[in-house]
Chain A
Amino acid sequence: MNAPALPLAFREGAAERPLVTTRLTVPGMKCAGCIGKIERELAKTPGIAAARANLSAKRVAISHDPVMDEGALAAALLALGFESQPVADNPLASDDAERGRLTRALGVAGFGMMNIMLLSVSVWSGAEGATRGLFHWLSAAIALPVVAYSGRPFFASAWMALRHRRTNMDVPISIGVILATVMSLYETVTGGEHAFFDSAVMLLFFLLAGRALDSAMRDRTRAGIGALLGRMGKSASVIALDGTTRRVAAKDLAPGMLVLVAAGEALAADGEVTEGTSALDNAMLTGESAPEPVAPGSVVHAGAINMGAALKVRLTHVAEDTALAEIARAMDEAGQSRSAYVRIADRASRLYAPVVHTLALLAFAGWMIAGAGWHASLTIAIAVLIITCPCAMGLAVPAAQVVASGALMRRGLLVKDGSALERLAECDLAVLDKTGTLTLGTPQADVSKLDAEARAVALGLAQSSRHPLSRGLAAALLREGVPPARVDEISETGGSGLAGRWQGLAVALEKPEGAAEGSLATTLRIGDTRQTILFSDPLRPDAAAALKALAAEGLPARILSGDRAAPVAAIAAALGIPAEAEADPRTKLAALEALKAAGHRPLMVGDGLNDGPALAAAHASIAPGTASDASQQAADAVFIGEALMPVALAVRVARRTMTVVRQNFGFSILYNALAVPLALTGQVTPLVAAIAMSVSSLVVIANSLRLAGAAK
């Protein structure tokens, strides 16, 4: 944009202007070399003071002169060979803050636990009288602030649940911790023998460890997916009456505005072309890989990418009224049912909390009737609460899910959260989209019929264009090691093709005459000879094997595609699975709803925005890494790379995870069955409680670690 003016402006005002920091997402950053290159080379660019790369989040924070805008920074990164996108107002900030709170609470609880344990061990080994009193007072002085600080995540969640007249895992935890603390305080004041400060704080520590694991898993995958996102048109160049253009954010656009859409830019609103001819990549809306030619009068939609020459577009529908926004709304509605899904930990606590509370109450009543006095009865009731507190249970689910998602991530599948793994494990039917899901979604050229000369000319032409067919052709030729011929005067006409001059001959890559509607082919013209190059959208190399693996897991597959019937039928026949073609987003959504109504739990795998509502409505959903932003957001998991196998792998690992989770629960129940009689008979001292709690937690973690190799 105003890049050429930059160095001058920078020299004039460099000294007094404060630096600003901008964050850019750089998905291509992978290794130490990339970090070194970005940080070293960017700092040499005029106007940039320093750059700091974050490899986990795939982001670069650049501190620079305010004159430089995001475009100039992106250009500087591109010069180093990295594509980048500006980060929109840090949407993950709240998640980051939550994880920070949890980690701090965990640190504080860890500190409290260790120091109180130090004092408790002295008490257990026989400290008496004034010494014991002093140690209890010291423990209280540490435990009270620690419980107040580290317990907040549980207290807040329990309070929320109670206010909505529900119960969750945090209710028994909060009651147990608060009662134990209050009771121990009473013991301390009256000079009693047993204080449970160590148990209360240890409980918080183990449970916080579970929570921190859960949130670390969510963050890690969200960072991965966030790095893939951000390709949609977020702003547009509006042409004013005097012919000047200015960038306007998508939400501030109004119908009637005239916008300039440069080549390679994504549309930010719906409109009608007023000037220019080009071809639009509508893959995001329709899932079609063939670009659609447009000319003045054509209706264009937000999310489409301009593949050819610049267009002027008069906007008709903006923001909430675009076709894109309508699909987004359908996705939102379809996603409602999923938010009602109750996670296994909460289902367990629905059974568990009443049982524990009843037991504690019965213990209290029983000992009162037996004449033990209210103090002894209350101590026993609290011992029951502490010993049954879901320490191992709190770890049972997150520990297993974190290990499993780590294993899947190494195989190229990012699972968004624990609930996604739980739902994946329950699926009994797979519904797959065709273009971009079963197939690679990028056209592959068949260049076997071309001679060496034609290949060189074709590459010379094709490599200068961003059209998907040109890219596919160039990729195929480069793979064959063809040297590009020197083609001059290359011009690209949107909708018809590329033309140029090679050794005095007119050469061109054109749309074939009389070609069947939508078939993928191009004509290479050298002088007067014409040759047709056919393109195919090949199946993913392991599609058949992946479908077989899915079937082996008990998930028969079917195709649900928005594409035309003939190619869909061909692929369905090749794979031997049923198919439904020409389905628009509503039809897909309806098909998914029908399957659910019939009692199925469908797994949807799709990439296009037209799959968005279906992805949101399915019991669980997976999208490829090449999918549209909206689809990736609607999906529970994203797989990266050419293989389809991660989909089958995800189901298998999810099922194994649930087996381990059930084992963990089984162990917790067994442990409770053994420990509760001890507590009920008043045998549980703080020492017994501490040992029981740590051993059960360690067993659960060790069992979960077995999942590390599950994705092999």
Chain B
Amino acid sequence: MTGLALLIPIALGMGLLGLCAFLWSMRAGQYDDMEGAAHRILIDEEDAP
């Protein structure tokens, strides 16, 4: 049963971490432009020399 004392906080902590990461990514505007994000990968960033 001592295992529980360790495992439960770890499980909850990891869940909480995921939640925080989600809330942060929302606040940072990562879901504001889903369509644009899909297209941005095609932009060639390097300027021709």
Contacts and interface: CB of A to CB of B under 8 A. Distances in A.
Contact of B23 (A35, A56, A104): A104
Interface residues of B, number: 24
Contacts of A36: 43-44
Contact of B8 (A56, A108, A138): A138
Nearest to A39: B43
A100 B8 contact: no
Contact of A115 (B11, B33, B42): B11
Interface of B: 1, 4, 8, 11-12, 15-16, 18-19, 22-23, 26, 31-36, 39-44
Contact of B12 (A107, A115, A131): A115
B40 A56 contact: no
A131 to B, nearest CB: 7
A197 to B, nearest CB: 14
Contacts of B16: 111
A659 interface: no
A56 B15 contact: no
A703 to B, nearest CB: 25
A53 B40 CA distance: 10
A54 interface: yes
A103 interface: yes
19 contacts: A31-B39, A32-B39, A33-B43, A35-B36, A36-B44, A54-B36, A55-B35, A56-B33, A56-B35, A100-B26, A104-B23, A104-B26, A111-B18, A111-B19, A111-B22, A118-B11, A131-B1, A138-B8, A142-B12
Given A107-B23, A115-B15, A138-B12, 18 more contacts: A31-B39, A32-B40, A32-B43, A35-B40, A53-B36, A54-B36, A107-B19, A107-B26, A108-B19, A111-B16, A111-B19, A111-B22, A114-B15, A115-B11, A131-B4, A134-B4, A138-B8, A142-B12
Interface in A448-493: none
A103 B26 contact: yes
Contact of B36 (A55, A104, A115): A55
Contacts of B44: 36
Interface of A: 31-33, 35-36, 53-57, 100, 103-104, 107-108, 111, 114-115, 118, 131, 134, 138, 142
Chain A interface SS verdict (over half):
helix
Residue of A35, A111, A114, A138 ringed by the most chain B CB atoms within 10 A = A111
A654 to B, nearest CB: 24
Contacts of B15: 111, 114-115
A164 B35 CA distance: 41
Please list the 9 inter-chain residue pairs (A to B) with the smallest Cβ-Cβ separation, ordered nearest first: A55-B36, A32-B42, A32-B39, A111-B19, A36-B43, A56-B35, A54-B33, A107-B22, A55-B35
A557 to B, nearest CB: 35
Nearest to B15: A115
A103 B42 CA distance: 28
A56 B18 contact: no
Contacts of A35: 36, 39-40, 43
Nearest to B43: A36
Contacts of A115: 11-12, 15
